[in-house]
Amino acid sequence: MPLKLLIDLGVGKRLEEFLRRNGYDISAVRDIDPRMEDSQILRIAESEQRIVVTMDKDFGELIYNAKQAHTGVLLLRMEDARAEEKIRIVAMILKEHSDKLQNHFCVYQDGRIRIR
């Protein structure tokens, strides 16, 4: 089953556009409701079987402490990255790890990805 993604606001419009151009099934928080709460983002993603792509560390809190259900989160710890770098990294992650992202909490930081 092809990956379906829900792109959080802070990730950036250029990455959204890149993913759309490259045939990914994406939905973007900016197109639904830019002020949406993180817990609502997870609920929408779960109902649509999407993996949340975010730069917001609060998702870990919701999943591990509040035990909120999810269908996968890709947390990008790339606070100072430019759009081109985010695109390059996400493209690499989707190419090399797409079969491991669904239903897992994944963190990309300092050139490495941790999948839990």
Domain of residue 17, residue span: 4-115
Q: What is the pLDDT of residue 40?
A: 97
Query: Tens of pLDDT along 64-81?
Result: 999 999 999 999 999 889
> 96: domain CATH number?
3.40.50
In the chain, the number of structural domains is 1
pTM of the full structure: 0.95
Query: Tens of pLDDT along 16-55?
Result: 999 999 999 999 999 999 999 999 999 999 999 999 999 9
Number of H helices, E strands in the chain: 5, 6
Q: Over 90: is that where the pLDDT of 1 sits?
A: no
CB 72 within 8 A of CB 52: yes
Instruction: Please give the backbone phi and psi of residue 19, each rounded to the nearest 5 degrees, phi first.
Output: -65, -40
Q: Over 80: is that where the pLDDT of 2 sits?
A: no
